[in-house]
């Protein structure tokens, strides 16, 4: 059976890549990477998936290049499109000085106007960017809209001035505006903003980064080639890099072991249980763990999704609008059993908030750990008005506690977790049906609040990113897919965006964790190591907290 899978996989790969008479022949200067699903977009204005963002950083320019210092546990920003930058003493102004030799791949110069134009698009509600609220702290007009004329200035082609309505921490400015990768004004200025999303498939992908797009066959492959015009920082060393879409994990693994793939990344990477055999039978494969970047959680929709979709009316969700119920769910789920049964205790750790374990210095260690306790879960459910019915299923006012938990196809870790969760909930009288959807359908359904509960993941590697996950204006915060609203958390997040003494910042971060811990808008399951698999033929691979493709433009083949 294994040979049949490998043969079919090889046939599939040959159908998507040219000149494939043997696994190595076409790859003398071509790296192939296996992934589980397609990218949502390759336009930074529209992206939401973390891997789409990583690929966009290889194609599009960004102001800086973030760098993670593992020893210090901190992120530093190095020059990229911006050679240097400075901040005013009052925290209300930032100036970026751009390189004068950077060009788009079609030879048009990259200028400060590209950045200003792009910021206006990011902020436009017609675009519905997941990052539009990064711009909310710029100077505003009387009607509350952003005053782009005065808040984003371009005194010349290579100077970009940002002005804010309140003091901003330099780390927040660098993180947020670095993530707002610009698009080429000369490509997009002829497209009405309201048509950008619907015309995404036909709009040319023109970047200035080390790679450019050669071909994108949806649901099959993405082929990047080195951009010889790039100085950000230089053209990719490898001439071609292809991302091959194979939804089934076993197929991707077989392709990696047989040499048809050079790397297997994303969707959890290599299953830890496959490591012993892999290391024994395929010593030519090296494992690179990405630590403390990804967490899995169950998103509990706190509002009635149907009422909001139909009437924009905010009503509590019948099941998960009550925090006692959400707390009960966390007590009811044996998270350590999921870790022990799939990843193993060396490759995952239980968490109770969205904060990465990388930030030990600000961890709030006074909080209860929500240790697996079915009896406590049942007590909390009783306090919330749920009692066992004649058939043993909890009910309230004649309504059974029966819901559907959605998960994404092609992710064995989450699929395993879903079966444990279903069993745990059944044991306390909750009926939980499972639904598995393809990645893009899953993502769209979450955004439209179609799921009462969804088992999903998030890459939440930086402290500034923590501040955009949550917000009572959930309509503008796509990562807040639980539609969680909390006024005090809003105030804490707002304060953490400003320059603060270290002791005040620490107290606010501890309050941030305390609120999430008590409210449980998600049942935070665990942060896990994503074990990326690479052929030892690839040189210079560096993965870290920030990205698996962090230095993909430096990769070469032996």
Give per-residue pLDDT as tens, 189-241.
999 999 999 999 999 999 999 999 999 999 999 999 999 999 999 999 999 99
Dist. CA 518–CA 257, nearest whole Å = 45
Judged against a pLDDT cut of 90, whether residue 96 lies above it is answered with yes
Q: Which of 449, 348, 367, 350 is nearest to 406 (CA)?
A: 449
Residues 6 or more apart whose CB falls under 8 angstroms from that of 554 comprise 237, 540, 542
CATH number for the domain whose boundaries are 209-262+537-557: 3.40.190.10
Q: How confident is the model at residue 26 (pLDDT cuts 50, 70, 90)?
A: low
Q: Mean pLDDT for the chain?
A: 93
> For a pLDDT cut of 70, what percent of the chain falls above it?
95
Dist. CA 348–CA 338, nearest whole Å = 10
pLDDT of residue 7: 43
CATH topology assigned to domain 292-529:
Dipeptide-binding Protein; domain 3 (3.10.105)
pLDDT of residue 15: 52
User: For the chain, how big is the Rg over CA atoms in Å?
Assistant: 24
Torsion of CA 53, 56, 60, 62, to 10 degrees: 30
Chain segment 259-302, per-residue pLDDT in tens = 999 999 988 899 999 999 999 999 999 999 999 999 999 999 99
Chain segment 445-458, per-residue pLDDT in tens = 999 999 999 999 99
Chain segment 461-475, per-residue pLDDT in tens = 889 999 999 999 998
Q: Is 79 left (phi over 0), alpha (psi -120 to 50) or beta?
A: beta
pLDDT of residue 267: 83
Domain ranges of the chain: 60-194, 209-262+537-557, 292-529
Tell me which residue has tokens 């003091």: 167
Domain 60-194 listed as CATH 3.90.1150.10: no
């Amino acid at each position: 059976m294994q040979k049949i899978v490998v043969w079919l996989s090889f046939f599939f790969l040959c159908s998507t890549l040219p000149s494939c008479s043997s696994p190595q022949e076409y790859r003398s200067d071509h790296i192939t990477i296996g992934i589980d699903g397609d990218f949502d977009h390759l336009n930074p204005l529209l992206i939401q998936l973390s891997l789409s963002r990583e690929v966009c950083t290889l194609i599009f320019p960004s102001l800086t290049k973030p760098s993670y210092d593992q020893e210090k546990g901190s992120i530093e920003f190095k020059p990229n499109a911006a050679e240097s930058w400075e901040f005013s003493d009052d925290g209300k102004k930032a100036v970026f000085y751009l390189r004068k030799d950077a060009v788009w791949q079609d030879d048009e110069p990259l200028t400060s106007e590209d950045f200003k134009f792009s910021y206006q698009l990011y902020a436009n509600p017609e675009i519905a960017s997941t990052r539009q609220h990064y711009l909310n702290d710029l100077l505003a007009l009387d009607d509350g809209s952003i005053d782009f004329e005065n808040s984003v200035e371009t005194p010349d082609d290579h100077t970009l001035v940002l002005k804010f309505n309140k003091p901003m921490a330099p780390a927040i400015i660098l993180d947020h505006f670095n993530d707002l990768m610009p698009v080429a004004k000369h490509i997009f200025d002829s497209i009405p903003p309201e048509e950008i999303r619907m015309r995404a498939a036909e709009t040319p992908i023109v970047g200035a980064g080390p790679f450019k797009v050669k071909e994108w066959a949806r649901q099959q492959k993405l082929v990047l080639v080195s951009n010889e015009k790039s100085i950000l920082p230089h053209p990719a060393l490898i001439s071609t890099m292809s991302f091959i879409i194979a939804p089934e994990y076993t197929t991707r693994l077989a392709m990696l072991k047989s040499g048809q793939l050079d790397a297997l990344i994303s969707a959890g990477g290599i299953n830890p249980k496959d490591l012993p055999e892999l290391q024994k039978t395929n010593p030519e494969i090296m494992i690179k763990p990405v630590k403390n970047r990804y967490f899995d959680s169950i998103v509990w929709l706190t509002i009635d999704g149907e009422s909001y979709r139909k009437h924009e009316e905010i009503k509590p969700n019948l099941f998960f609008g009550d925090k006692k119920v959400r707390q009960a769910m966390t007590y009811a789920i044996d998270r350590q059993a999921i870790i022990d049964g799939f990843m193993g205790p060396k490759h995952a750790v239980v968490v109770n908030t969205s904060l990465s374990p990388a930030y030990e210095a600000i961890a709030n260690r006074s909080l209860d750990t929500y240790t697996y306790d079915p009896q406590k879960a049942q007590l909390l459910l009783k306090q919330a008005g749920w009692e066992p019915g004649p058939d043993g299923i909890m009910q309230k006012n004649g309504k059974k506690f029966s819901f559907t938990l959605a998960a994404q196809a092609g992710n064995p870790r989450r699929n395993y977790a879903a079966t444990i969760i279903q069993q745990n909930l059944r044991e306390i009288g909750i009926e939980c049906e499972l639904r598995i959807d393809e990645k893009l359908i899953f993502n769209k359904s979450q955004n439209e609040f179609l799921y009462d509960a969804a088992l999903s993941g998030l890459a939440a590697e930086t402290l500034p990113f923590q501040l955009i996950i949550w917000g009572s204006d959930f309509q503008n915060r796509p990562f807040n897919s639980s539609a969680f609203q909390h006024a005090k958390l809003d105030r804490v997040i707002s304060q953490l965006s400003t320059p603060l003494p270290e002791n005040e910042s620490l107290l606010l971060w501890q309050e941030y964790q305390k609120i999430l811990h008590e409210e449980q808008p998600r049942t935070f399951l665990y942060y896990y190591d994503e074990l990326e698999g690479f052929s030892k033929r690839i040189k210079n691979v560096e993965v870290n907290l920030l990205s698996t493709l962090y230095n993909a433009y430096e990769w070469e083949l032996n």
